[in-house]
Chain A
């Protein structure tokens, strides 16, 4: 079965510092990969996704993620954190092809940004 692991339930960075949020998936066939952001008391918003093609994916708000098949990873990065980036980030996967399967979320990483 598909699963996704996010290392670190809470990450704290200083404003202007690099943001790195880790995500690893477990499946023999690389799934579709997504990153979502959730602000307090809000729904989830898609940051970026990887389906096929270029392995470095650029998303909204300056975020990007790189799909690395050899490492079964899809880590999210942003070169310079902003206070407004403080939120919870969820990595999600869904299986390729077939008629069954759903979007499976990781447990989330709460990002804090210090002034």
Chain B
């Protein structure tokens, strides 16, 4: 089945130690998103790629970076994780942008713990 896969499902990292979360997709979608979801809150968009074009949300901290080496893969890099960065990180894809009514397909998420 075509899908969005996030690895790992659970990640524990040390305060200040860089960490990378990965996302891959077999849907061949041109748009990939990274959301941060803290406990009992709505997902918050960090940034997205429309093809190779990177779109950063205005309030996304510089501590968060992303790479998309090809259509299938997208990475979230947290350069110096703080305790406040502990959250579920959700990767999603869509065919065409949201302004076209395209639904987003989500991965299972990576739960990040910072110790």
Contact = CB atoms under 8 A, between A and B. Distances in A.
Contact of A106 (B42, B97, B105, B106): B42
Given A103-B45, A105-B43, A43 B107 contact: yes
Interface in A22-50: 32, 34, 36, 41-46, 49
A90 interface: yes
Nearest to B44: A105
A101 B97 contact: yes
Contacts, number: 64
Contacts of A51: 101
Contact of B42 (A49, A90, A101): A90
B101 A101 contact: no
B48 interface: yes
Number of contact residues on A: which range applies? 20 to 34
A94 B101 contact: yes
Given A45-B106, A94-B99, A107 B43 contact: no
Nearest to B91: A43
Interface residues of B, number: 25
Contact of B109 (A41, A96, A110): A41
A107 to B, nearest CB: 5
Given A44-B43, A44-B104, A106-B42, 5 more contacts: A43-B106, A44-B90, A102-B57, A103-B45, A105-B43
Interface of A: 32, 34, 36, 41-46, 49, 51-52, 90, 94-103, 105-108, 110
A-B pairs, top 9 by smallest CB distance, nearest first, are: A94-B98, A43-B106, A105-B42, A51-B101, A32-B101, A44-B106, A101-B99, A103-B98, A43-B108
18 contacts: A41-B88, A41-B111, A43-B4, A43-B90, A43-B109, A44-B104, A45-B106, A46-B103, A94-B98, A96-B99, A100-B99, A101-B97, A102-B45, A102-B57, A103-B45, A103-B98, A105-B42, A108-B42
